[in-house]
Amino acid sequence: MHIVMVAGMGLIALAAFYFGAGLTGRAASSGAALFIWVWLAASILNGAVGVLRAGIPVVNEIAAFIPIFGIPAAVAWYLAYRYGA
């Protein structure tokens, strides 16, 4: 359930980056491209907290990292490069 919640929060954050960039006068696709890097850092931090504080094995965190980072990043990549200028 944690994976679904974190990936869902990633999609919500992506929407904030995408529409926030449009509201500030930049291309919305640039917000989606920036989101990928920010989400990568947040996903790595999430995995580090899981391993170091919660005691989850590294193998399990790597398996969780794939959908946690991958789903929002794939949508962001699609938005950045499909609708980009």
Parse the chain into domains and list their residue ranges.
Answer: 9-82
Which of these, 84, 83, 75, 82, lies nearest to 36 by C-alpha position? 75
Tens-place pLDDT, residues 37-84: 999 999 999 999 999 999 999 999 999 999 999 999 999 999 888 866
37 vs 14, 44, 60, 73, 77, CA distance in Å?
A: 11, 11, 23, 9, 11
The encoded tokens of residue 74 equal 């794939």
| Prediction pTM value | 0.90
